[in-house]
Chain A
Amino acid sequence: MEKKTCLYDRHVALGALMSPFGGFIMPIQYSNITDEHNAVRQHCGVFDVSHMGEVRITGPDAERYVQHIFTNDVTNAPVGQIYYGMMCYPNGGTVDDLLVYKMGDNDFFLVINAANIDKDVEWMQQQMQGFNIHFEHQSDYYGQLAVQGPEAQAVVEEVLGLSCAELKFYTAKVAPSGAVGGTSSSIIISRTGYTGEDGFEIYGSHEFTQKTWDMLMESGRCKPCGLGCRDTLRFEVGLPLYGDELSADISPIMAGLGIFVKLDKPEFIGKEALAEQKANGVAQKIVGIELADKAIPRHGYPVLTPEGEVIGEVTTGYHCLSVDKSVCMALVKADYAKLGTPLQVQIRKKVFPGVVVKKKFYDKHYKK
């Protein structure tokens, strides 16, 4: 039985197509994916991402603990700084990718993927021995909205009365709940997102989240957007999705995310394995492939050499909405990962020629 977010009734009332995702019943689209995708690229869209999980780590050893389980480096971070990175297994495989918010000295707010909440919480609690920390699982308390697009700042400030102009990319603050009010005396707002556009993610109580959603809908300045276009948006700017481009079998190094793995840290889980992968290379890598034809590569379709040998499979693929090309990300043998390598993708009964390209099919438009 899937869980519902605090906005479930509102999605149904809007006529959204609802479908299971990550243990929740979530809106896939309200009108159509293309219109919602374009709204975020050109104006402003809002996503209910209340399915995401939240964990708060506090206590004397909080920073040392986060450093132990997280691949990125949070030492000497100013309060409000946010880091993207992974939790890895000792063999380098990925437990999850996540955001770590530094809320204060020895006070961290971790945002994890919905589908991984149970697994992550169990994993994190298993790593607590020897650390004097307080671990609080807060997923059931927080609702979360992502307001995304070039007009996001104006919408958040003018409609919600939440000041956010001063927030730099990948920073957060605790703020009064603005014009929204509600039971939250304070909320967390950050300049982050998963679309490649400027935007904000806002965490608050369910009541706050409901009131915020209603104000955004009433304003008419913000289109409700489902997980369908969230996937097309993140895909075309080359952002990974756990389960597609990252998994227990796909390390951050294999996924080309080594920049978020700080091997100069003294210690973290998976460091030895990831350092070995970086030094000696990996057997498989995530690449981008652009097809000459309009046929659409989908998750799991085989990737072949021009001679017909299967050397990998598609992880995510679409007919890319912003650039009108059929493209995919795929996990292939590392020998075939070089830019310009000719490859083929099998789509149903036919094979279609393609070429290895950068994973970023459309440029990000962050406000930094």
Chain B
Amino acid sequence: MANFESGLYYSESHEYVRVEGEFGYIGISDYAQHALGNVVYVDMPEVDDEVTAGEEFGAVESVKAASDLIAPVSGTVVEINEALEDEPELLNKDAFGNWIIKVQLSDPSELDNLMDVEAYKKHCAE
């Protein structure tokens, strides 16, 4: 069974944002890592890259297939989770504890377009 963490913002494509001040930590939900199976590679952008809400910023690869990562919010990448370069399976072990990129939010009002945990649970049950 997938875990759901409250206090995060979720997108329909199963990314989450954890907001801390002007920054957002973006990752994939526990539901998403379950659906993907063993993660073997995470394709991440570079620091200073711009990401745009609704657009692809990287990919998570399981053995069988690549799944695009879609930015839930817009911003500038200020940090990537380098641990995932050597240990992509961290996403399977703890998806919420292992964010993928940290961005400086360019438009915090975009968070209003995302789901809270209760809405996201319903989305996953559909």
> Beyond A228-B63, A318-B63, A321-B63, is A32–B37 a contact (Cβ under 8 Å)?
yes
- In the complex, whether B41 has a CB less than 8 A from a CB of chain A is yes
In the complex, whether A28 has a CB less than 8 A from a CB of chain B is yes
Interface string of A294-321 (1 = CB under 8 A from B): 1110100000000000000000001101
Q: In the complex, A32 Cα to B63 Cα: how many Å?
A: 9
Q: A296 to chain B: closest CB distance in Å?
A: 5
Question: Number of residues in A with C-beta < 8 Å to the partner?
Answer: 18
Q: Which B72-123 residues have C-beta < 8 A from chain A?
A: 85
* Cβ of B38 under 8 Å from chain A: yes
> Does B59 lie within 8 Å of A33, measured CB to CB?
no
The answer to whether B38 and A33 have CB atoms under 8 Å apart is yes
Q: How far is the CB of A316 from chain B (nearest CB, A)?
A: 12
CA distance A34 to B64 in the complex (A): 10
Which residues of chain A come closer than 8 Å to B64, judged between CB atoms? 28-29, 33, 228
- A368 CB–B CB distance under 8 Å: no
Is B40 an interface residue when CB atoms closer than 8 A count as contact? yes
Task: Give every chain A residue within 8 A of B43 (Cβ-Cβ).
Answer: 295, 347-348, 350
B interface residues, how many (CB within 8 angstroms):
14
Q: Is the CB of A298 within 8 A of B66?
A: yes
Q: Given the complex of chains A and B, what is the CA–CA distance between A111 and B3 in angstroms? A: 46
A349 to chain B, nearest CB (A): 9
**How far, in angstroms, from A340 to B8 measured CA to CA in the complex?**
49
B38 in contact with A296 (CB, 8 Å):
no
Type the 1/0 row for A273-302, where 1 means its CB is closer than 8 Å to any CB of B: 000000000000000000000111010000
Q: How far is it, in angstroms, between the C-alpha of A318 and the C-alpha of B40 when the chains are bound?
A: 10
Q: Give, as a whole number of angstroms, the nearest-CB distance from A26 to chain B.
A: 13
Q: Check B41–A319 contact: CB distance below 8 A.
A: yes
| A228 to B85 CA separation, bound complex (whole angstroms) | 24
Chain A residue nearest to B61 in the complex (CB): A296
**Candidate in A33, A296, A298 with the most chain B CB atoms within 10 angstroms:** A296
Closest to A33 in B: B63
A298 to B38 alpha-carbon distance, docked (Å): 17
Instruction: State A232–B43 Cα separation when bound (angstroms).
Output: 21
Contacting residues of chain A (32-54) with chain B, CB-CB under 8 angstroms: 32-34
Residues of A within 8 A of B63 (CB): 32-34, 228, 232, 318-319, 321
Q: What distance in Å separates the Cβ of B30 from its nearest Cβ neighbour in chain A? A: 16
List chain B residues, Cβ under 8 A from A29.
37, 64
Q: Whole-angstrom distance between the alpha carbons of A72 and B84 in the complex?
A: 48
Cβ of A353 to closest chain B Cβ, rounded Å: 16
> B59 to A319, Cβ gap below 8 A?
no
Which of chain A's residues has its CB closest to B89's CB?
A: A34
Residues on the A chain within 8 Å of B56, using CB:
348
Known: A318-B63, A319-B63. A32 touches B41 (CB 8 A): no
User: Which A residues are in CB contact (< 8 Å) with B41?
Assistant: 294-296, 319, 326
List which A213-250 residues lie within 8 A (CB) of chain B: 228, 232
| B37–A319 touching, CB < 8 Å | no
Interface centre among B59, B64, B66 (most CB of A within 10 A): B64
Tell me which residues across on chain A come within 8 A of B66, comparing CB atoms.
296, 298, 348
- The interface bits of chain A over 324-368 (1 if a CB of B lies within 8 angstroms of the residue's CB, else 0) are 001000000000000000000001101000000000000000000
Q: 30 interchain pairs (CB within 8 A)?
A: A28-B64, A29-B37, A32-B38, A32-B63, A33-B37, A33-B62, A33-B63, A33-B64, A34-B38, A34-B63, A228-B63, A228-B64, A232-B63, A294-B41, A294-B85, A295-B43, A295-B61, A296-B40, A296-B66, A298-B66, A318-B63, A319-B40, A319-B61, A319-B63, A326-B41, A347-B43, A348-B56, A348-B59, A348-B66, A350-B43
14 further interface pairs, Cβ-Cβ under 8 Å (given A294-B40, A319-B40, A326-B41): A32-B37, A34-B63, A228-B64, A294-B41, A295-B41, A295-B43, A295-B61, A296-B41, A296-B61, A298-B66, A319-B41, A321-B63, A347-B43, A348-B66
Top 5 nearest A-B pairs (CB, nearest first) are A33-B63, A319-B40, A296-B61, A32-B37, A34-B38
Interface residues of B (CB under 8 A from A): 37-38, 40-41, 43, 56, 59, 61-66, 85
B-binding residues in A (CB < 8 A): 28-29, 32-34, 228, 232, 294-296, 298, 318-319, 321, 326, 347-348, 350
